[in-house]
Amino acid sequence: MVRTELALRSGDAAGALAGARALQGLHAQVRHLYVDEALLRATVCRALDEGGAAAEARAVRRAAGEWASAAVLPGLPATHRERWRSRPDLVTLWAS
C-alpha cells in the first residue's frame, strides 16, 4: 500500500496502477491483518483513477461505498459518521 501511495504522490500513474492491481490481488490475504480496509480500498480507487482505469475505479468505489455503508458506518456513533466519511484519505470512496 505504501508503494502505491508513493507512486500516487510522485505522479507515477503506471506504478500506481500496478500497485492497485497488486493490492486487489492481496486483499483477501491481508484481511486478517491490522490493515485499514477502507484506506486500502480508497488507495486502490485513487490508483485506478490515476492509471486511467476509470470504469474499474467506479466499480471498486461503488463496492467500497456499499461495504463501508454496511460494515463501518453502522458501528460508528451517529455523531462520528460524517467526520469519518469526510476524512481526506477516504473521501475518494464517496466520489462519483
Q: Cα(29)–Cα(24) distance, rounded to whole angstroms?
A: 10
What pLDDT shows up at residue 31? Answer: 60
Rounded to the nearest integer, the mean pLDDT of the chain is 86
Q: Which cell is 76 given? A: 460508528
pLDDT at 38 over 90: no
Number of domains in the chain: 1
Question: Which helix (H) or strand (E) element contains residue 35?
Answer: none
Range of the domain at 78: 2-94
55 CB-contact burial (10 Å; exposed 0-12 / middle 13-18 / buried 19+): exposed
Tens digit of each residue's pLDDT (9 = 90 or more) over 43-77: 999 999 989 999 999 999 999 889 888 988 898 89
What pLDDT shows up at residue 63? Answer: 92
Percent of the chain with pLDDT over 70: 90
Q: Which cell is 96 given? A: 462519483
Q: What is the DSSP letter of 88?
A: T
